[in-house]
Amino acid sequence: MAQRVRRIGLLGGTFDPPHLAHLALARQAREELRLDELRWLPAGQPWQKLAQGRAPSAAAHRVAMLKLLLQGEPGFVIDERELHRSGPSYSIDTLRELASELPGAQLFFVVGQDQYARLHTWRDWRDMLKLVTLAVAGRAGDAPRAPPEVAAVPHRIETLALPPMAVASTDIRARAARGEDLSSLVGPAVAAYIDLNALYRVDTGS
């Protein structure tokens, strides 16, 4: 009898802070893609933000907030490998490692439409398309729109339909700097952690 193929979702991001839209996306991916596991991959030194002169909050704070956000959620795992890697974080390095560690598994790399539209700017993006099935999140009824460079390369893709949620980490940091209540955006536990540790009190634009 053939062994069932494991279905592993991968969700990367700075998560600075992690918020309820991240959680909604992960839940949708878990259900729609019938995932055995979804790995959250907080970036160590995301190359896009470093190129813009922005640095994320301390890794320990971002991991602590992720743990609070994911309490009680089955099938979610925090994978900290990028936080321990020196130099800029590139998704292809992580995907190559995971493909080697999980032979035979089907890997689903969860991205938003905005990331999909810029995929051709990522390091070794063609190799990435060979390793994973892209799960592109967008508004219900909207088909993913690939840039011409990506559309010309055969790749596996799934679509995740999400309700519109106007939540962004940049806005949350600005609200935190003004001392506003963040519970409706990040959940009570993460909001309390941000307040207790005085995170984002001075918005540096990171």
Residue pair 63/41 in contact (Cβ under 8 Å)? The answer is no
What is the fold, at CATH topology level, of the domain defined by 7-165? Rossmann fold (3.40.50)
Of residues 107, 105, 36, the one with CA closest to residue 74: 36
Summarised one tens digit per residue, pLDDT across range 8-66 is 999 999 999 999 999 999 999 999 999 999 999 999 876 555 555 567 899 999 999 99
Decide if pLDDT at 172 tops 80. yes
Summarised one tens digit per residue, pLDDT across range 58-86 is 999 999 999 999 999 999 999 999 999 88
Structure-token pair, residue 204: 């540096």
Of residues 106, 24, 32, the one with CA closest to residue 73: 24
Lowest mean per-residue pLDDT among 108-117, 182-191, 196-205: 196-205
Summarised one tens digit per residue, pLDDT across range 122-169 is 999 999 999 999 999 987 667 788 999 999 999 999 999 877 777 889
Number of H helices, E strands in the chain: 10, 6
Q: Any residues with CB less than 8 A from the CB of 168 and at least 6 apart, and which?
A: 21
